[in-house]
Structure 1
Amino acid sequence: MVFVLAGKMSKKGGSKLTQEEELLLQDFSRHVSVRSSALFYGSGGLAALTPIWLFWRIHHMDLSVYWLAYILVSAASAWLIAFAYKNTKFGLKHRIAQKREEGIAREINKQLQDDKKVTKKEKDERILWKKNEIADYEATTYSLFYNNLLYLFGTVVLSFVILRTANPLMNYGLSSLGSAGLVALLSTGTK
C-alpha cells in the first residue's frame, strides 16, 4: 500500500497527497508522535537514573562528588534507551497489526452489521484506524518493558559480575553506557 502511494505521488510529478494518504503514510513511518517521544524520553530517563541508586548505596559513589558523571552518563543512556524504544516499537507495530487484523475486523463488522448507512470504505477505514491504534499501544508498552528489562539486567550483570573489581566511576560509566549501547544495538536488528 505504501509503495502504491509513493508510486502515485511520483507519477503525478510530485502532486499533493490527500489527507487520508498522509495519515496512512504516517502510520508506516519511523517517526513517532510528540506524545510518544515524550513518553520514550521520560521512561528512558527514569530507566537511566535507576542505576544511580545502586552505585550510590552499594558502590559508595557519593552523589555530591560524582554528580557530573551521574548527569552525563544518565543523559547519554537515556538517549540510547529512547532510541531503542523507537526502533523496537517500529519493528513490532506492523507485526502486531497483522496478528490483530482479523479479530478487529470481526469486531468492527459485528458492531456495524445493523447500520446500513456505513459504506464498505468507512468500515475499512474504521478497521484500519482501530488496528493501528491497538498495534501502536501494544508495541509501545512492549517496547518499554522489553528495553527497560534488558537495560537493567545488562547494567547489573556488567556492574556486579564483569566489572566488579573496576574503579567505581569506570564501573558506573561502562556498565550504564554499555548496557544502553547494547540495548540500542539490539533494537536495530530486523527480526
Structure 2
Amino acid sequence: MTRDTADYIGKPFIDARVLMALDKVPRHRFVPMHLKLFAYHNRPLPIGHGQTISQPYIVALMTDLLDPQPQHVVLEVGTGSGYQAAVMSELVRQVYTMEIIADLAEEARERLNTLGYDNIKVRAGDGYYGWPDKAPFDSIIVTAAGNQIPPPLIKQLKVGGRMILPVGDLFSVQHLVLIEKRSEGEIQSRQILPVQFVPLTGKH
C-alpha cells in the first residue's frame, strides 16, 4: 500500500499533518450509533439517505492531494456526515461545505457545531453549482461522482488551485481525478486511481 500511495501522490508518504488531522477527528461521532464499533475500520460506512462516509484511507489520500495550507479556503461538495469537512478544517483557515440532502446538511451542521468546528460553514444546496459568493477557492473537494467535471467548480477555483473529485457513474469505472488550474484557460488533469463513490444528484 505504501508503494501504491507513493505512486498516487508522487511522494513516499501521506503528509504527517494530514495523518494527525485524521487522528484528531473522532470518526465515531460521524457514523450511526449502531455502526460505532466499525468507525475506525478502513472501510466506508452507510450514514442514511443512501449516502456513505468514505474510508479513512481515501479521505487521507484526497486531502493530501489538495496540499492544504493554513491560509487556504476550501469548498467541499457532498458534506455527508461532515467527516471530510472536519478533517480538512484541521488544516485550513475555512471550509465551506454543501450537501444536496437537506436533512443530512442539518445533521452535519449540528454535529460540527457540537464538536466545536467553528471554521466550517454548511449549506444545503446543489454543490454542482458551487458557492459563488464565497469563491474563489484555493481548493475544491468533491465526494460524489459525476460524468463530467462541473464547469461552475472550475470557474470558482483559483488560478494555482487544485480540485479532487471522482469522475464516472455507477455503471462504469469511476476514477479519482486531480485537477490543477494553471490559468483561466489552462486546466491540467491526472487520473489517480479507480474508486467507487455515490453519484452526484441534482437537476443538472
By percentage of residues, which structure has more strand? 2
For normalisation by structure 1, the TM-score amounts to: 0.29
Q: Which has the larger radius of gyration?
A: 1
Where relative contact order (Cα < 8 A, 6+ residues apart) is larger, the structure is 1
